[in-house]
């Protein structure tokens, strides 16, 4: 095959991890591309594209998976179409130019219709959670392969329409070229995805976790939007306030009580029409002596509380966790997930989940006594993580969790108890 046009030279400058591209225009230069080199060049381009993506995503640059998806939709379909068209033409003796052009069109059609709309509709319709997402990932990988074959089959059949055995050859040709290209695309997206939640951690039931004693979790339930309290050790829960929250970014937080400077109020932050002026509802006043305010609130005066979407960063510390050697951070992007470092041993743990079939941000993280981390994953999953055992468990469906230490109420003054029962806002 001969190409008339411009010659390009790609130079890799590795000492500073920089990539330099220089192009020299030289019209009327013939570039001879041998067929056996085409596969090698395509593979090199795909690997180079992934390698050029940032290993640590920046808040204003997106994630490797975002870039992989955009590159695939805009340029990758052209490369894959060239490969598939060349293979189809070679196997059945078809005209290369027409076949390649037709299969390139087929790839753009299947990627945009199947990849963006059909796949997206399936993902949105399926209730994903920590316990089923990994199985769903592999099921969707197989289903996407079948969808691609179905969407591109008419184009393959069109290329073979003049052949007496067009149907048999179309089926065989579709299976061959789609299998080759899908394996390449799967590798492309796998390299750009974050799967360590399932490949490096063990997903267990909550009953298999050793949970800290005397820790109460307050949260907004996913099913009715009301505020609940749960004892982590016993999993006993009860409703504490009819909140009727409807926004996925609503959350609970604690602030110093105006009645008693040694205690904390429980407050709900609800997203309003004007996001700069959220609706704040006091659920209980002076309800806890030991709580874990968000790190941002400790650096602002007066304390500022963000909604769940922006409540990432350093994990809050509860009770004896203030003396823990572990430090945890939740990243902005799903690929950043939850990361922890043991300051004494230097041990590090990290997990994330960001794939073409589902992605979860980590928010509202709190380091508990016994070095467990309570956090929200996605919009409606409250989970707990054990860094020593590398185990993750789903606690309940909800959002905006905060944790406090349970108090011994046996010595509480009778008048205080009567006042709290009389005033549900307390």
Shared domain for 214 and 188, answered yes or no, is no
Task: Say what the pLDDT of residue 304 is.
Answer: 87
List the beta bridge partners of residue 399: 220
Backbone angles phi, psi at 414, to 5 degrees: -60, -40
Shared domain for 57 and 150, answered yes or no, is yes
Shared domain for 290 and 398, answered yes or no, is yes
Q: Tell me the whole-structure pTM to 2 decimals.
A: 0.80
CA 31 and chain centroid, separation: 43
Q: Look up residue 266 and give its two tokens.
A: 């429980």
Shared domain for 140 and 161, answered yes or no, is yes
Domain with 89 in it:
2-193
Average pLDDT over residues 358-373: 96
The pLDDT confidence band at residue 119, using thresholds 50, 70 and 90, is confident
Q: Look up residue 11 and give its two tokens.
A: 């130079």
Q: Look up residue 125 and give its two tokens.
A: 């319709």
Shared domain for 343 and 234, answered yes or no, is yes
Average pLDDT over residues 70-81: 93
Residue 36 has pLDDT above 60, yes or no: no
The SS3 assignment for 74 reads helix
Average pLDDT over residues 84-89: 95
Q: Is 317 exposed, middle or buried (0-12, 13-18, 19+ CB in 10 A)?
A: buried
Q: Measured between alpha carbons, how far is 405 from 402 in angstroms, rounded to an integer? A: 11
Number of domains in the chain: 2
Shared domain for 149 and 12, answered yes or no, is yes
| Overall residue count recorded for the chain in this entry | 426
**Boundary (domain end) residue, out of 193, 222, 247:** 193
Q: Measured between alpha carbons, how far is 135 from 155 in angstroms, rounded to an integer? A: 32
Name the nearest CA neighbour of 405 among 346, 314, 320.
320
Shared domain for 109 and 22, answered yes or no, is yes
Report pLDDT digits (tens) over 145-187: 999 999 999 999 999 999 999 999 999 999 999 999 999 999 9
Shared domain for 182 and 267, answered yes or no, is no
Residue 126 has pLDDT above 60, yes or no: yes
Task: Say what the pLDDT of residue 117 is.
Answer: 77
**Boundary (domain end) residue, out of 193, 213, 243:** 193
Shared domain for 313 and 409, answered yes or no, is yes
Average pLDDT over residues 50-69: 64
Average pLDDT, the chain: 85
Which of the 8 DSSP states describes residue 320?
Answer: G
Report pLDDT digits (tens) over 223-236: 999 999 999 999 99
Q: Are strands 202-204 and 391-405 parallel, antiparallel or unpaired?
A: parallel
Inter-residue contact 270 to 278 (CB < 8 Å):
yes
Task: Say what the pLDDT of residue 239 is.
Answer: 97
Shared domain for 334 and 215, answered yes or no, is yes
Q: Measured between alpha carbons, how far is 89 from 126 in angstroms, rounded to an integer? A: 39
Residue 414 has pLDDT above 60, yes or no: no
Average pLDDT over residues 34-58: 45
Greater pLDDT, 119 or 93: 93
Task: Say what the pLDDT of residue 303 is.
Answer: 85
Task: Say what the pLDDT of residue 63 is.
Answer: 93
Q: Longest Cα pair distance anywhere in the chain, in angstroms?
A: 96
Residue 67: count other Cβ atoms within 10 Å of its Cβ: 18
Residue 424 has pLDDT above 50, yes or no: no
Shared domain for 156 and 231, answered yes or no, is no
Q: Measured between alpha carbons, how far is 307 from 399 in angstroms, rounded to an integer? A: 11
Percent share of the chain, pLDDT over 90: 72
Q: Look up residue 350 and give its two tokens.
A: 């990290």
Average pLDDT over residues 113-119: 76
Shared domain for 24 and 168, answered yes or no, is yes
Which of the 8 DSSP states describes residue 72?
Answer: I
Inter-residue contact 21 to 11 (CB < 8 Å):
yes
Task: Say what the pLDDT of residue 121 is.
Answer: 84
**Boundary (domain end) residue, out of 193, 217, 250:** 193
Residue 10 has pLDDT above 90, yes or no: no
Report pLDDT digits (tens) over 282-328: 999 999 999 999 988 888 888 889 999 999 999 999 999 999 999 99
């Amino acid at each position: 095959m001969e190409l008339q046009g411009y010659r390009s030279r790609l130079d890799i400058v590795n000492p500073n991890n920089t990539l330099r591209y220089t192009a020299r225009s030289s019209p009327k230069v013939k570039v001879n591309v041998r067929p056996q080199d085409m596969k090698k060049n395509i593979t090199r381009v795909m690997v180079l594209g992934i390698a050029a993506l940032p290993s640590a995503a920046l808040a204003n640059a997106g994630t490797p998976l975002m870039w992989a998806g955009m590159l695939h939709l805009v340029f990758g379909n052209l490369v894959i179409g060239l490969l598939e068209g060349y293979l189809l033409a070679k196997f059945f003796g078809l005209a290369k130019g027409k076949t390649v052009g037709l299969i390139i069109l087929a790839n753009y059609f299947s990627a945009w219709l199947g990849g963006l709309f059909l796949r997206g509709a399936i993902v949105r319709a399926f209730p994903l959670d920590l316990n089923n997402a990994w199985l769903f990932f592999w099921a969707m990988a197989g289903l996407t392969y079948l969808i691609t074959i179905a969407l591109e089959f008419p184009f393959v059949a069109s290329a073979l329409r003049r052949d007496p055995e067009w149907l048999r050859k179309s089926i065989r040709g579709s299976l061959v070229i789609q299998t080759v290209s899908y394996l390449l695309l799967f590798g492309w997206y796998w390299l750009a995805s974050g799967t360590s939640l399932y490949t490096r951690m063990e997903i267990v039931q909550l009953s298999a976790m050793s949970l800290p004693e005397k820790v109460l979790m307050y949260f907004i339930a996913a099913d009715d939007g009301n505020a609940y309290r749960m004892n982590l050790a016993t999993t006993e829960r009860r409703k504490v306030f009819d909140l009727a929250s409807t926004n996925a970014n609503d959350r609970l937080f604690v602030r110093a009580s105006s009645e008693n400077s040694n205690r904390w109020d429980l407050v709900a932050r609800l997203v309003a029409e004007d996001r700069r002026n959220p609706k704040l509802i006091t659920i209980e006043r002076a309800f806890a002596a030991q709580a874990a305010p968000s790190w941002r609130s400790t650096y602002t005066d007066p304390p500022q509380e963000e909604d769940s979407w922006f409540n990432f960063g350093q994990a809050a510390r509860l009770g004896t966790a203030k003396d823990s050697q572990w430090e945890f951070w939740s990243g902005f992007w799903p690929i950043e997930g939850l990361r922890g470092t043991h300051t004494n041993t230097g041990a590090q743990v990290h997990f994330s989940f960001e794939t073409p079939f589902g992605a979860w941000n980590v928010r509202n993280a709190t380091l508990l006594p016994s070095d467990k981390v309570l956090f929200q994953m996605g919009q409606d999953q409250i989970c707990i993580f054990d860094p020593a055992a590398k185990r993750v468990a789903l606690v309940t469906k909800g959002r905006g969790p905060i944790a406090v230490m349970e108090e011994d109420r046996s010595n509480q003054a009778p008048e205080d108890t009567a006042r709290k029962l009389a005033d549900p806002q307390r």
